[in-house]
Structure 1
Amino acid sequence: MRLRSATTADAEAILEIYNLEVLTSTVTFDLIPRTVDGQAAWLAERRGAYSAVIAEVDNEDGTPVVVGFGSLSRYRERAGYATTCEDSVYVHRDHQGEGIGSTLLTELVALATDHGFHTVMAKIVGGHQASIALHERAGFSIVGREQEVGRKFGRWLDVVLMQRMLAPKS
């Protein structure tokens, strides 16, 4: 597996992973699948400190295939939150349980540290034990729960708030 910075050329591969979650799961609260143009615009915003990373492997004929992606985003718009970011990690369903999520999250934490962030936040739908465990293994702690803040598939959804403090760069 290789990690690299995402580019707009990765829009369709990311859509394949992300839109399946939009349509069939509660791991994202998006209700409408993204378009290629919308995904390309999202990727164009992921530069510098708020970057996106791709995990890829070679398929049987040697061509690279995107098997996961992760990103850092603004936590909140107000200037006082500038030293806090939020992570997102998505892994293709055919490749879950292979360590891809852990590798992506480790890279995102390293990028956040390198860019001088003070802390990384994660918002995870309540009950998504795999993502909660992934974040705990990466040094995140549960710091709160937002009750019934989302609604999807006719259900109210909680959000578990997790946080990892970052060590300052030496």
Structure 2
Amino acid sequence: MPHIALLSDEPGIRGLFTFRPETARPLNELVEALLRADNTLTRGERELIAAYVSALNECRYCYSSHAAYAAAQLDGGMDLVEQVRDDLGAAPISPKLRALLNIAAAVQQGGLRVTGQLVSAARDTGATDVEIHDTVLIAAAFCMYNRYVDGLGTFAPDDPASYATRAKRIVSDGYLALLSESQRNAGTQA
């Protein structure tokens, strides 16, 4: 049960966006830029970073959501996402993505945990400065999103199908397209 009256039966961050639509737009713009804008990392890889950090933070709603979004965009689907979550070292992913996920895990523990050695290891696998930057920002942003969702006691559906259904819409339309009309207008009204 949420810690505050959200006036919505929407799960996770979606209920929070309905409660404070003026914050929904900028938060969705950030996630749209981080996870969907043009980038040398695929959308699936960036969603995997978000899911991995959410798993480390034990945020069930965010992990389930972004795991579904990653699975819909990665070869290997949910099996791959769960392998990464359960044993990053043994997961069948590229050395570059593994190095970036190691950086994301360090950010999840605290920004000062990101070391020159982790960054060098990522560069040695071909990671660019932009990819390293974006990994750190995705990880930091998802620590915030996870704490927002869990700090207000939102609920997470148990049915994986609900996340898979939403994943289809996120993949095809993006995060901004799914804002309600009131949420879309909240950031543009004077």
TM-score normalized with structure 2 length: 0.26
Which structure has the highest helix share of the two? 2
TM-score normalized with structure 1 length: 0.28
- Larger RCO: 1 or 2 (CA < 8 Å, sep 6+): 2
